[in-house]
A and B are shown apart, each in its own frame.
Chain A
Amino acid sequence: MTFLNDKALERLRCSEGADFSGTRYKLREFIARGGMAVVYAAEDEKLSRRVALKVLDAPDANGELTSRLMREARILAQLEHPGIVPVHDVGVLPGGRVFYTMKFVEGLRLDRYIMQVDSLPQRLRLFLRVCDAVAFAHARGVLHRDLKPANIMVGSFGEVLVMDWGLGKILREHSLSRDETFVSSGQKAKSESDSTQFTVITGHGTVMGTPGYMAPEQARGETERIDVRSDIFSLGALLRFIVIGGAQGKSAAQPRPLSAICAKATAESPNARYTHVSELAADVSLYLDGLPVSAYAENFLERLRRFYKRHEVAILLIGAYLIMRALVLLFFHR
């Protein structure tokens, strides 16, 4: 029987018939498979570095998949942001298959990483960084359309990267060439125009996305109704996962203001959701700072409790001082 060495084994596991011999890349190992393409870890021999390489998993007869992959690469190339995985190179193989390479992110997917993070504020800060990246993409006129924990990577240095822009959609109102300033979370994104004005350039009326994270209008295939609020729905579902899912086996308690934020972001009607990612991020930031959030009208007791939590040390100090003062007064008036 033929003995297969380790190289042959890896090749058989990841070889898809793509001939990389004429390129500067050598496939090292299989990473993942998407709907149309496969991602490998590869070695860039020119620069001696590891890259992630995405290539169509089969020759493309009518060119539709090729143009989708090229569009994805172009979207990524334009979205230069620390929270979005950068694209390095794009090319065509001798067989006609398109591929592109991007930064190889060593780390964990958010759904796995979040299990290791006990602190809710720390988990929420991760979420805010996802919001930063998505807000930036929206400001550039790009929707992600497939935001979910599996598409977020947390690198070994804690960097958060939004991956897989394969379902990304370009909105007409904001061309990719426009130079718009990145707006960090917690600020109003001035460059974001009214989301309802966005119209869709691409779209086939087909349902693309992930159940549970896909907005209702997206699930119904109503491509003309998909806008930034569809991504906001996904972010709301992601926030719920981060707050509840990440707390599996630890604590199932969900603070009411956060529940309200999730509920508003994932409202059935797009009109009932936040209109910009920055608004959603601002609410989460307010919660983190112990301030009232726009999505939740708190009662007097809750306001009092929040006030106490926010100023706990000062209140305790003042209380201790008053008690001491009272004791001193009592002692001298006896």
Chain B
Amino acid sequence: MASDPLRTKLCDMLGIEFPVIAFTHCKDVAVSVINSGGFAVLGEAMHTPDDIASDIKWIRDRIDGKPFGIDLVLPASVPPADSLEQLEAKIPETHRGFAQEIKEKYNVPDPKGAIDLHTWGGLNQQMARAQLEVLLDERVPVIASGLGNPGFFLETAHERGIKVFGLVGKARQAKRQLDAGVDAVIAQGYDAAGHTGAVGTFSIVPEIAAMAGDTPIIAAGGVTTGRHLAAALCLGASGVWSGTLWLASRESDIDMIIKERLLASTVEDTSYGKSISGMTMRVLTCPWTKEWAKPEAPHALPPPYQMLLSANYIQGANDNRREDLMTEAAGQGVGFVTSMKPARQILFDLVEEALAAFEERVGELA
């Protein structure tokens, strides 16, 4: 066995100690993981360009020149651009009625303020472009594209010394991005939180690793233990991308109620469906997802209509901290997230478990 099975080409490329990437929306988590020898990518898709610039400075001030990444969700297709009023007017009465039934059945409170969905203006290229300009101007070490193909800005990024990672859910998306010259591909399996493809992590990682040559492949989806890390490396990945693992960390800024739900959740407590947004995504099961999964429920509407229906429920639940109603994106690995630890400890435990798993196998083979 190599002296350090966790030393991969991803470590060499990024200058990091452990091949673990924390995907997080929390700057404190990112800084903790980076300063502990891992790598972190901060999700900034919903932030304004000014906020992104501010967050980059905040992180840089705390990591002593170490590398970090920023994730954007570049659109890959664009829906019709009606006004909010036009969109709401198109929601069928059956669906409005079903949402109202849920509201009454579970006594879902009204949101306390304006619904975020109604006040955020960007679902278009202009917003994504403005966000991207900040990352290019700031020369962030890594730009990760959480959905769309980053090929169009690769040359510009590389000229500025920026590495570009692309997250994919299908092999053909990976091939397209590899041909374009991305620096790493994140192969995301069905087990993952949020928007996932239909292929499981155990299938998509080796398929993409086989076509990647020297380009590092990063496994995503269901990675919450050191055994997952060890398995991902054996599948051909050079590292792992994990999100759910960090949500319940000490530093994480999500609501404590959600943290407690994550810690109590098993692998069976996530739902994969369209009830939240009209697009398939994996979240913690909640009354809203349960009701829309029933046979008598109407089919979920396409985006953005289903989001307009769910936004009232989600924000009402969050604003009023209703534990029985709240939800959050979570992957199937959530069942292994059982205690609230500092991010640094989570990283070290992951590494120790992975090394132990390798030692165990080698011991059996000896």
Instruction: Determine if chain A interacts with chain B.
Output: no
B residues in contact (CB < 8 Å) with A: none
A residues in contact (CB < 8 Å) with B: none
